[in-house]
């Protein structure tokens, strides 16, 4: 990303959310600590349906501040993002697999990952320090998540302070580290002056290392009173010297980086009991990284005069000889000639003395990569000037798999398109393969598989290694009735026209290029006409298309506009209404050659159009609904008593005049879902919808007279993505606890051409696409293996069913399915019948259907493959009149399992 809209986007999210739940030591996939939330009194019935979920492919789109390779198992690597969760590398598919999609609405901040650590002693173990902001924007404290199955499932230890995955300094690290000799010991560097923390029980509990002398003192902007720029960046990395310990015995020599320009590196030589500042260290800089080459005994530091990830004007690289205690400045560029800091740092574990570093804050003309094969004595660069402005590159860069990375630019030398990147704070050489290297940028992950060609005088090939890592923040979505199925408004990279959801679009929207698109709309009866608005450093802030978003032209704008706001297109494309930041609501006919201020509506109102009557537009602000019947020239206040706080979003039903659904509010006031059938003169609240934040429409179910309604909402006490095929009389939750994506309140829309398909916005996990397994809008057949009248055979499976908690009217259970056969499962369905009146209310790590007493639990995508001798587990909460009682029998694919 070029400029971060993330603090603003997440702040808006925070303002719309209620306080989060605090969980310590409980399954991180569970929605609550000991009990589910009490169901709200409602006449809304909750059904079950099986949906499959995927991303509309964009590939990347955000900052990747950390990449971590496991040093004992080949091809095991993780990536962390600032707001979009963590990922594990899938070597077979050459793609990344998301690990934190289970993070729920109440703990949305846990989708920000400040650090990640992979256990060298036991590669099944992985840890993540999570939390998005250290100030009040994030309502919950941070946590250290721990997994013993490479991120397939997690448990959480909530911390007594916040963690800042999207705070200044987030590219430094890694803050979290596992002792390579005694893996029950972990260290965590805390922000905000909270010090150094240690766990001695594999991350279950944590305590402060009170002997550590320096909690840091550097803040990006001490004058900022928001708690963002003025936060003490704290302790920023921990590195072990594995030579000073042995298997089962704690490592004695530990190095810690501190955000303090005069005292940036500390060491313990007694396993963390005592600490001291290392004498002779460089001053005036912050050590972004500290990496030890155990083969040579050298500790390397990459230094910058700021904490990053955007800023940094001067930098150095230093080397510390851990044997002699001697320091050496091994910078590849004299400090007087730097205009950037250094950050990304890695050593080649196969070739002692070989290391690489990045000039992370070299925005123009490009970032720079440095490489040394003699422990920093001499360096070469990824590119050099020949005769300015021409450059000679040691690399080739092929972005054909993600072509939008060129940004559609055609710059003059020495700048190139695409660039090597910017904000390059993470760079890692594969510890098992000297030819493979990956590095993160503000927009993608780049990598190479022939790196050593650099040393032989050839060119190494760089390509995006980002497939599966979807990190865009989504502001608005539209699905026209013809043309491309999906148009998107995104933070940082503008937005895309998807003609194929499974392919990366060739280019983001251009002419104009907007830093962030805040709103878009199409003409309902003329969907070739599209308008979008957004944020940019200067005008224009608006663009128009007459070919369904394939090509764009810039529009003029009223005076005073500072940002995008919201925009609406007349149903027939004859005019537009725009409510920009910095100016009043305006209208235009044609394509914005001139604008006229609307009357009767306040500045900053949210605007939408009627989807049938081209003269009718709607607006909303601070609890009042506004209507125009003259193309947006004048508005009249209509309904009042609507939510006056929080974010409110509303949509008019396609093809029907005056049918409006409104979602939004805040927990401190009105909050929910309303409908008007008289063009906003009056609204009726849906009593069964406790909270709602976005609403949209899709193709009607077979035999239904009304379009399918989709909401991101809380219904029956459960947060999720819901749909209704009968105008809100009944709701079906269509996501599950493994697919929650933190915050989904910005936008939602169904597809008018495919029943059941829905597009869901996230704030960092891109555009989620849901596909229904049903064909008529109802639930699906539970499938084989759930009918007790069918005589089952015997399956190669063993089931352990444990009721882990009981309370009045409910219970929680954990289920483990073990493969006792000789062939792997490739997907599984476990069936059982409950005794009594037990009913599942929510399930994690599996999806479920229940018909009467019969239940079928089906694997989710990441736990469908179960090798012989291995197990898959899931859990659920349920209701019961008495106590939760174990079912007598289980079937897998229609055949009986052994019950443990």
Stated length of the chain: 900
Confirm if 148 and 154 have CB atoms less than 8 A apart.
no
Examine the pLDDT at 632 and tell me if it is beyond 60: yes
pLDDT of 364-400, one tens digit each? Answer: 999 999 999 999 999 999 999 999 999 999 999 999 9
Q: How far apart are CA 723 and CA 49, in angstroms?
A: 10
pLDDT of residue 678: 98
pLDDT of residue 1: 33
Residues labelled as active-site residues = 82, 492
- pTM, entire model: 0.83
Examine the pLDDT at 260 and tell me if it is beyond 60: yes
Q: How far apart are CA 186 and CA 180, in angstroms?
A: 9
For 14, phi and psi rounded to 5 degrees?
A: -60, -35
- Mean per-residue pLDDT for 214-236? 97
pLDDT of 503-536, one tens digit each? Answer: 999 999 999 999 999 999 999 999 999 999 999 9
pLDDT of 419-459, one tens digit each? Answer: 999 999 999 999 999 999 999 999 999 999 999 999 999 99
Confirm if 236 and 264 have CB atoms less than 8 A apart.
no
Residue owning tokens 């479920």: 848
pLDDT of residue 725: 96
pLDDT of residue 797: 92
- Name every residue whose Cβ is closer than 8 Å to that of residue 403 and which is 6 or more positions away in sequence: 504, 506, 507
Of 267-276, 778-787, 854-863, the one with minimum mean pLDDT is: 778-787
pLDDT of residue 25: 30
Extract the tokens encoding 381. Answer: 């660069």
* Average confidence score pLDDT of the chain: 91
pLDDT of 329-372, one tens digit each? Answer: 999 999 999 999 999 999 999 999 999 999 999 999 999 999 99
Examine the pLDDT at 824 and tell me if it is beyond 90: no
Percent residues over pLDDT 90 in the chain: 82
pLDDT of residue 795: 75
Residue owning tokens 């601070």: 622
- Name every residue whose Cβ is closer than 8 Å to that of residue 638 and which is 6 or more positions away in sequence: 624, 625, 626, 627, 679, 680, 681, 682
Q: How far apart are CA 205 and CA 199, in angstroms?
A: 6
Output Rg (C-alpha) for the chain, integer angstroms.
Answer: 28
Q: How confident is the model at residue 783 (pLDDT cuts 50, 70, 90)?
A: very low
- Mean per-residue pLDDT for 402-409? 96
């Amino acid at each position: 990303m070029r400029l971060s809209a993330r603090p603003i986007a997440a702040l808006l999210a925070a303002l719309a959310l209620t306080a989060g739940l605090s969980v310590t030591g409980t399954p991180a996939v569970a929605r609550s600590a000991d009990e589910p939330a009490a169901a709200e009194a409602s006449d809304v019935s909750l059904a079950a349906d099986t949906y499959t979920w995927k991303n509309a492919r964009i590939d990347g789109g955000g900052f990747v501040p950390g990449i971590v390779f496991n040093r004992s198992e080949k091809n095991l690597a993780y990536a962390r993002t600032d707001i979009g969760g963590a990922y594990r590398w899938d070597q077979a598919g050459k793609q990344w697999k998301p690990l934190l999609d289970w993070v729920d609405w109440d703990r949305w901040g846990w989708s920000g990952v400040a650090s990640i650590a992979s256990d060298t002693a036991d590669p099944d173990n992985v840890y993540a320090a999570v939390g998005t902001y250290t100030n009040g924007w994030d309502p919950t404290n941070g946590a250290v998540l721990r997994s013993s199955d490479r991120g397939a499932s997690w448990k959480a230890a909530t911390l007594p302070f916040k963690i800042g995955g999207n705070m200044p300094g987030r590219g430094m690290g890694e803050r979290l580290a596992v002792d390579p000799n005694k893996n029950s010991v972990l260290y965590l560097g805390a922000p905000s002056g909270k010090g150094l923390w240690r766990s001695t029980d594999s991350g279950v509990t944590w305590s402060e290392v009170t002997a550590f002398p320096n909690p840091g003192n550097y803040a990006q902007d001490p004058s900022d009173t928001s708690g963002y720029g003025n936060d003490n960046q704290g302790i920023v990395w921990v590195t072990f010297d594995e030579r000073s310990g042995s298997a089962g015995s704690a490592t004695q020599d530990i190095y810690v980086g501190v955000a303090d320009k005069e005292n940036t590196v500390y060491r313990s030589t007694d396993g963390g009991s005592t600490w001291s500042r290392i004498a002779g260290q460089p001053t005036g800089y912050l050590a972004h990284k500290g990496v030890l080459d155990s083969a040579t005994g050298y500790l390397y530091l990459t230094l910058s005069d700021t904490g990053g990830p955007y800023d940094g004007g001067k930098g150095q690289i230093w080397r510390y000889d851990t044997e002699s205690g001697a320091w050496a400045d091994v910078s590849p560029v004299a400090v007087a000639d730097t205009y950037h800091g250094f950050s990304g740092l890695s050593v080649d574990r196969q070739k002692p003395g070989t290391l690489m570093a990045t000039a992370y804050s070299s925005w123009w003309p490009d970032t720079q990569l440095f490489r040394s094969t003699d422990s920093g004595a001499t360096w070469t660069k990824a590119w050099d000037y020949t005769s300015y402005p021409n450059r000679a590159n040691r690399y080739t860069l092929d972005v054909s798999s993600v072509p939008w990375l060129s940004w559609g630019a055609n710059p003059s030398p020495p700048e190139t398109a695409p660039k090597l990147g910017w904000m390059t704070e993470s760079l890692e050489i594969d510890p098992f393969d000297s030819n493979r290297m990956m590095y993160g940028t503000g927009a993608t992950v780049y990598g190479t598989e022939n790196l050593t060609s650099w040393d032989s005088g050839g060119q190494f090939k760089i390509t995006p290694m980002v497939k599966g890592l979807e990190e865009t923040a989504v502001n608005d979505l539209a699905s026209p009735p013809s043309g491309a199925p999906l148009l998107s408004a995104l933070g940082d990279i503008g937005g895309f026209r998807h003609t194929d959801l499974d392919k990366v679009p060739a280019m983001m929207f251009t002419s104009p290029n907007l830093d962030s698109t805040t709103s878009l709309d199409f003409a309902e009866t003329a969907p070739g006409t599209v308008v979008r608005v957004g944020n940019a450093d200067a005008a224009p802030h608006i663009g128009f298309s007459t070919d369904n978003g394939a090509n764009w032209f810039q529009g003029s704008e009223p005076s005073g506009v500072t940002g995008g706001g919201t925009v609406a297109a007349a149903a027939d494309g004859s005019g537009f209404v725009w409510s920009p930041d910095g100016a009043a609501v305006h209208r235009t006919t044609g394509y914005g050659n001139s604008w006229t201020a609307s009357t009767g509506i306040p500045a900053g109102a949210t605007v939408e159009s009627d989807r049938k009557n081209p003269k009718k537009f709607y607006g909303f602000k601070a609890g009042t609904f506004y209507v125009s019947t003259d193309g947006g020239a004048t508005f009249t206040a209509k309904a009042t008593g609507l939510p006056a706080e929080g974010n409110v979003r509303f949509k008019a039903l396609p093809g029907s005049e005056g049918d409006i659904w409104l979602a939004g509010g805040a927990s401190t006031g009105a909050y929910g879902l309303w409908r008007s059938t008289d063009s906003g003169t009056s609204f009726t609240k849906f009593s069964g919808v406790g909270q709602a934040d976005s609403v949209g429409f899709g193709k009607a179910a077979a035999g239904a007279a009304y379009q399918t309604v989709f909401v991101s909402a809380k219904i029956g006490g459960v947060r999720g993505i819901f749909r209704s095929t009968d105008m809100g009389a009944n709701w079906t939750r269509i996501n599950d606890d493994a697919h929650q994506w933190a915050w989904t309140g910005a936008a939602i829309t169904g597809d008018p051409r495919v029943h059941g398909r829905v597009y869901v916005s996230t704030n960092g996990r891109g555009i989620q696409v849901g596909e229904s397994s049903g064909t008529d809008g109802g639930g699906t057949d539970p499938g084989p293996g759930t009918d007790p009248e069918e005589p089952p055979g015997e399956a190669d499976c063993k089931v352990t069913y444990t009721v882990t908690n009981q309370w009045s009217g409910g219970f929680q259970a954990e289920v483990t399915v073990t493969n006792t056969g000789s062939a792997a499962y490739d997907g599984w369905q476990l069936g059982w019948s409950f005794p009594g009146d037990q009913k599942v209310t929510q399930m994690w790590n599996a999806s479920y259907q229940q018909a009467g007493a019969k239940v079928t639990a089906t694997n989710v995508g990441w736990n469908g493959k179960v090798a012989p001798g291995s197990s898959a587990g899931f859990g659920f909460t349920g209701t019961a009149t008495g106590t939760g009682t174990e079912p007598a029998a289980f079937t897998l694919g229609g055949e009986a399992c052994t019950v443990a």
